[in-house]
Amino acid sequence: MTTPALLPLSGRRIPPLNLGPPSFPHHRATLRLSEKFILLLILSAFITLCFGAFFFLPDSSKHKRFDLGLEDVLIPHVDAGKGAKNPGVFLIHGPDEHRHREEEERLRNKIRADHEKALEEAKEKLRKSREEIRAEIQTEKNKVVQEMKIKENKPLPPVPIPNLVGISGGDPEDNDIREKREKIKEMMKHAWDNYRTYGWGHNELRPIARKGHSTNIFGSSQMGATIVDALDTLYIMGLHAEFLDGQRWIEDNLDFSVNSEVSVFEVNIRFIGGLLAAYYLSGEEIFKIKAVQLAEKLLPAFNTPTGIPWAMVNLKSGVGRNWGWASAGSSILAEFGTLHMEFVHLSYLTGDLIYYKKVMHIRKLLQKMDRPNGLYPNYLNPRTGRWGQYHTSVGGLGDSFYEYLLKAWLMSDKTDHEARKMYDDAIEAIEKHLIKKSRGGLIFIGEWKNGHLEKKMGHLACFAGGMFALGADGSRTDKAGHYLELGAEIARTCHESYDRTALKLGPESFKFDGAVEAVAVRQAEKYYILRPEVIETYWYLWRFTHDPRYRQWGWEAALAIEKYCRVSGGFSGVKDVYSSTPTHDDVQQSFFLAETLKYLYLLFSGDDLLPLDHWVFNTEAHPLPVLHLANTTLSGNPAVR
Ligand code: DMJ
């Protein structure tokens, strides 16, 4: 027998409605389930309508009242005049009228408050400078344009892919070196597999708690920072299944339309750099598309009175701001000065010069500014265009600004002479004021604070050994040998900072003070968070000198990481490198996979893997191909032509 519920809806007779007491079960059954549902819907719609009419009728105070002295009576409103348009309107009297007065009062108060708020906002606007208002309007305009662009989902113009030399290979002939390289690959597998198991999609991994981890640089969203940062390392190590897994996650999940405030610098070097490198290595369009989508979201950060970007931007609203801790509301040199490589590639790949113009504007502005002692201070106020505190460092806050001047020149096939000149000038001033020799003969880079040299060097500053070596060729008259030597000295000093600890891993910061040399003094500076800079410098020095000591030092560091940082759930930083029983910080940083393990792998690979005359590594170790300047900017770029 066919049950009523299964009868087709169309052409069905509606059975009699039985709302009476359920005395005859077979009658109730005649009211079918779906019909009951429809009736219920109609009933509830009717009730909603009545409710709506009751509460949302036009303001009754504006209508003529007929006080019949009745309480709680609803009567149809009869307009005395001609052409009454609302014959169906009801008026409410009695206690309801009182309630209405209260309602009116409440509305009036709300309108008053809204007006006051609007007035305040207008006053606030008037307090802002013309530039700030202009910047805000620009932000709004850009947002609309970006949203339109994203909606259009336009395919990007085709551009010839530069000559991609050495994206695989580098197999060492020597057995011992091959084994070491295999060991580094195994460490990468361990880091990746555990992130895959316990932190997938999160920004980073807590290897001991075995769960996801994030910091404020990535905002409040799970943007899979480790996946994006690790892709190119997976690729060059030949871990293709893992690479594909990461690619799929990016295709399906990586979304930048999120209400999240991120660091412009970090997102640029890790995400845009990572996606661009993955694109060049694999040729997969998705990486290019995602990089461009993200870059568009960063553009509102540049809408400041000077064009110097904010440190942070909300990816959804485009509102930017600076770190609360930065001197006088300033932007940071190493942040706004570390965009050039990625932005030039973005212009090349899209044919849209906006990215190129943004970074060139920063450069032009910096060129015009006075520099105390020829040094660039770390802080620059994006509203006023004035320097903040006179603090110069080659470590944190300054570091990659200098690196990107050199790399802008290298990436342009050594045609961007302006960048090279800025680099040479800056390095000369740094050498004069910041680089010193300790009593024990160690060359170190101190920090310049308001006319005083602090004899302290950060782990971050150790990257400069590699930078000096990389910049040796092309330096001013007869100085190539000098800079290679300087790079080697910095490598030695940084190696000492590792060698003088219990764990053979370097502290975050170390001093040169009397008898203290290359050793951290304060407890808060004794940690090692899987940073790459010392190994990065070993690798560059190895490429330029082939001195076996760099492989030896790199291997020492790899063994120490394996021994003290490896846990069953991944790799963790340690809190005190001077204690032989280390406490873990329980964070596997994304740069450990992007940089530390990549540089180690390259250190034990042949020079034919990612050769330095074809590739330039961004500050997060993402390799980008050399682009001749004429191709990247105006008429030379076929996408622009
Ligand atoms: C990385 O994110 C980059 O190398 C950056 O330039 C500064 N340091 C961290 C790793 O230490």
Q: How many domains does the chain have?
A: 1
CA–CA separation, 441 vs 451, rounded Å? 24
From 268, 333, 459, 619, mutation site for ligand 1 pocket: most ligand atoms within 8 A of C-beta: 619
* 505-518 burial: b if 16+ Cβ within 10 Å, else e: bbbbbbbbeeeebb
Task: Identify whether 541 is part of a domain.
Answer: yes
Q: 543 in ligand 1 pocket by Cβ < 6 Å? A: no
Could you tell me if the CB of 280 is within 6 A of ligand 1? no
Domain CATH code at residue 597:
1.50.10.10
Of how many residues is the chain composed?
A: 641
Neighbours of 97 (CB within 10 A): 16
Cβ atoms of 320 and 312 within 8 Å: the answer is yes
CB 392 within 8 A of CB 448: yes
11 inside domain: no
- Rounded Cα distance, 219 and 205, in Å: 16
The Cα 465–Cα 314 span in angstroms is 35
Q: For ligand 1, is residue 531 a contact (CB within 6 Å)?
A: yes
Instruction: Map residue 490 onto helix, strand or coil.
Output: helix
What is the DSSP code string of 173-188?
Answer: SSHHHHHHHHHHHHHH
Domain assignment present for 143: no
Could you count the other beta carbons within 10 Å of the beta carbon of residue 141?
A: 12
Q: Tokens for 445?
A: 């880079």
In a domain? residue 424: yes
Annotation marks residue 533 as catalytic: yes
Binding site membership of 620 for ligand 1 (Cβ less than 6 Å):
yes
Six-digit token string for 627:
């682009």
**Sign of the alpha-carbon dihedral angle for 521, 524, 530, 536:** negative
160 belongs to a structural domain: no
Q: What range does the domain containing 371 cover?
A: 179-453+463-484+530-572+591-631
Residue type, 101: R
Residues 77, 105: contact at Cβ < 8 Å? no
Please give the distance, rounded to the nearest whole angstrom, from the Cα atom of residue 333 to the centre of ligand 1: 14
Ligand 1, from 217, 340, 400, 530: best to mutate by most atoms within 8 Å of Cβ? 400
**Does ligand 1 come within 6 angstroms of the Cβ of 599?**
no
N-terminal to C-terminal alpha carbon distance within the chain:
74
User: Does 118 fall in a domain?
Assistant: no
Q: What is the 3-state secondary structure (H, E, C) of 292-358?
A: HHHHHHHHHHHCCCCCCCCCEEECCCCCEECCCCCHHHCEEHHHHCCCHHHHHHHHHHHCCCHHHHH
- C-alpha 620 – ligand 1 centre gap (Å): 6
Residue 396 Cα to ligand 1 midpoint, Å, equals 9
pLDDT at residue 48, as a whole number: 53
Is 30 marked within a binding site? no
Smallest CA-to-CA distance from 313 within 328, 329, 297 is with 297
Is the CB of 591 inside a 6 Å radius of any atom of ligand 1?
Answer: yes
Cβ of 618 closer than 6 Å to ligand 1, yes or no, is no
What pLDDT is stored for residue 90 in this prediction? Answer: 32
Residues (pLDDT < 50) of the chain are 1-34, 50-93, 152, 634-635, 641
Secondary structure class of 628 (helix, strand, coil): coil
Q: Decide if 431 is catalytic.
A: no
pLDDT number for residue 88? 33
The Cα 86–Cα 129 span in angstroms is: 51
Residue 154 DSSP one-character state: P
Distance from Cα 471 to the centre of ligand 1, integer Å? 19
- C-beta of 401 in contact with ligand 1 (< 6 A): no
Dihedral angle over CA of 322, 324, 326, 327, nearest 10:
110
Determine phi and psi for 86, rounding to 5 degrees.
-125, 60
Ligand 1 atom closest to residue 396's alpha carbon, by position in its atom list: 7
At 353, the amino acid letter reads: L
Radius of gyration of the chain measured on its C-alpha atoms: 33
Respond yes or no: is residue 489 known to be catalytic: no
Is 266 annotated as catalytic?
yes
Q: Which helix (H) or strand (E) holds 204?
A: strand 204-206
Query: What single-letter amino acid sits at 595?
Result: E
Ligand 1, from 218, 335, 460: best to mutate by most atoms within 8 Å of Cβ? 460
pTM: 0.79
DSSP 409-427: HHHTTS--HHHHHHHHHHH
Check residue 94 and give its pLDDT.
53
The answer to whether position 125 is within a domain reads: no
353: in domain: yes
